[in-house]
Amino acid sequence: MGVPDNLPKVTRTPGILRRRAPFLAPFWVAGVSALAGLAFLFIVGKATIAIAGETTTVIVLRHAEKMAEPADDPALSPVGIARAERLATLLGSTQIAAVYASDTRRAQQTAAALAARRGLPVTVRDGRDVRGLLEEIGARQVGRTVVVVGHSDTVPAIVAALTRGRNRVTLVEGEFDRLFIVTVTRFGPPAMTELRY
């Protein structure tokens, strides 16, 4: 009696019966897929770190409360001095690379306590030259955190430029407690957070 032709072909080896089609293929496919997934996560993780390394944070605020006199370039009032100290306490432990202020006494005095706490000079810029300020930050401070002390008319312009017009803010007379944190990355839109201090 012969063996029928329609039975699966088998190969005999000592103690093992094997099919010619490997039955472990699904396990190999799953293993290779898992390794590919891990490699993808590793590459994406490295890319995320690289992107995070390019994040620039610009903290923008108006100068603190000022004296009424002299009208052309008043100093901070006692309330303004106390607010400048509060700012230094709030941001004193932040890794800040530079502190910018406009060319007015009130802006420079607002920045002074924070700059002193961080061991930095106050970099004075023409308060009307928003474009020049942003170009300097873009050229020298990429990947760092900087603080900019401006005025009720320049802070909105700086925030709008940094966020590409996505965030528009308005400061009214008597508002000195708002602080805007703008994060700019190479990939994705800028983001803004507002704090009161």
Question: What are the pLDDT digits (tens) for 48-100?
Answer: 333 445 899 999 999 999 999 999 999 999 999 999 999 999 999 999 999 99
Same domain, residue pair 106 and 138: yes
Structural domain of 181: 55-196
pLDDT in tens, 141-195: 999 999 999 999 999 999 999 999 999 999 998 999 999 999 999 888 999 999 9
* CA distance linking residue 137 with residue 96, whole number of Å: 13
Same domain, 60 and 86: yes
Residue 24 lies in a domain: yes
Residue 42 placed within a domain: yes
Together in a domain, 104 and 178: yes
Residues 23 and 78 in one domain: no
The CATH number for 102's domain is: 3.40.50.1240
pLDDT of residue 47: 40
Residues 151 and 61 in one domain: yes
Domain assignment present for 10: no
pLDDT tens, position by position, 12-36: 545 544 445 555 555 555 555 555 5
pLDDT at 187: 82
Same domain? For 139 and 162 the reply is yes
**What is the model's pLDDT at position 4?**
56
Span 107-140, pLDDT tens digits: 999 999 999 999 999 999 999 999 999 999 999 9
Going along the chain, which residue ranges are E strands?
10-13, 16-19, 56-62, 98-102, 122-125, 145-150, 178-184, 191-196
Q: Are 97 and 32 found together in one domain?
A: no
Please state the domain count of the chain: 2
Average pLDDT over residues 38-55: 49
Are 38 and 71 part of one and the same domain?
no
Give the whole-angstrom CA distance, residue 121 versus residue 112.
8
- Same-domain pairing of 152 and 88: yes
Q: Say yes or no: 26 and 97 in one domain.
A: no
Q: Do residues 131 and 34 share a domain?
A: no
Count CB atoms within 10 A of the CB of residue 19. Answer: 10
7 assigned to some structural domain: no
Q: What is the pLDDT at residue 188? A: 87
**Sign for the pseudo-dihedral over CA of 120, 126, 131, 136:** negative
Whether residues 161 and 91 share a domain: the answer is yes
The three-state secondary structure class of 39 is helix
Per-residue pLDDT at 8: 53
